[in-house]
Structure 1
Amino acid sequence: MRNKKRTMLIAIVAFVTIMTLAPYLFIQYQHYNIEKKVTAYLLNDKEYDQEDFEIVRTDIGKVPRYSADVVFKDEPKIFYIYSVYPESLIQVDVFTVDDNTQEDKMNSKFKHREY
C-alpha cells in the first residue's frame, strides 16, 4: 500500500512539473525557430553575411504573427521587422530607435528596405 501511494505521488509531481514546463519550453522553441528562419532567409535568400546583421528580438504575437527585429551593422539605429509565416517570410516594417519611420527625416535611405 505504501509503495502505491509513493508511486502515485511521484506520478502526480512528474505530471504537474511537465505541465508547468511545457508552455515555457514551447515558447522558447518558437523564439529559436523564428531566429533560425530569419537568419536562413537573410543568409541564403538575401545573401548577407552573418556579420552584417543581428537579430535583436523575436516576438510571438497573434497567431500566425511571429516576428523578428533585425539591426544591420551599417545602420545600427534602424530596426527592420520581419514577419514569419508558415510558408513565407517578409519584411513588414522599418523604424528607427526614436520611432521615426520616414526616410526624409532621417537624412538617409533605409538601405535594407525590401518594399
Structure 2
Amino acid sequence: MTFEGDAGANAKLGQALLHGSPGWHKLYSHAGNTIEGFNGYLKDADHGALHDGGRRRARGFTNQYLFTTLIVVAANIRKIKSFLQDKLKGAATPSRSRKPRRRDRLGNYWTHEEPSPKS
C-alpha cells in the first residue's frame, strides 16, 4: 500500500473541528468534565472505591470486569436515588434562594486590596 506525501498533513486538518479550537472546546469541554467527574465518583473511597484493587479480590479478567461492572451499576443507582430524592424534596418545599457564601456574609473580611500603611 502506498500513500501520497501530503496524506498525513491533510488528515490532521480534515477534522470537522480542529482540536483545541474555540468550537472544539465549546463542544467537548462539558462532556470531558462530566466523564472525569463520574470517574472521581467511582473512585470515592467511601462508596465504590474502584481504584482500590483490594475491593475486587478475584483472579482473572472476567471476574475483574464483573466486579467493575457491579461497582459502576451501584454508582449509577446511587446517582438515580439522589436525583429522585432531590426532586421529591424540591416538590415538597417551596423554592428558596441559596444561602450566601461565607465570604459574602463576612462583609469586608477578605479583600484583595493592599492594607493601608500604619503610621
Instruction: Identify the TM-score tier after normalising by the shorter chain.
Output: under 0.3
Specify which structure has the higher proportion of helix.
Answer: 2
Structure (1 or 2) with the greater strand fraction: 1
Report the TM-score when normalising by structure 1: 0.27
**Structure exhibiting the larger radius of gyration computed from Cα positions:** 2
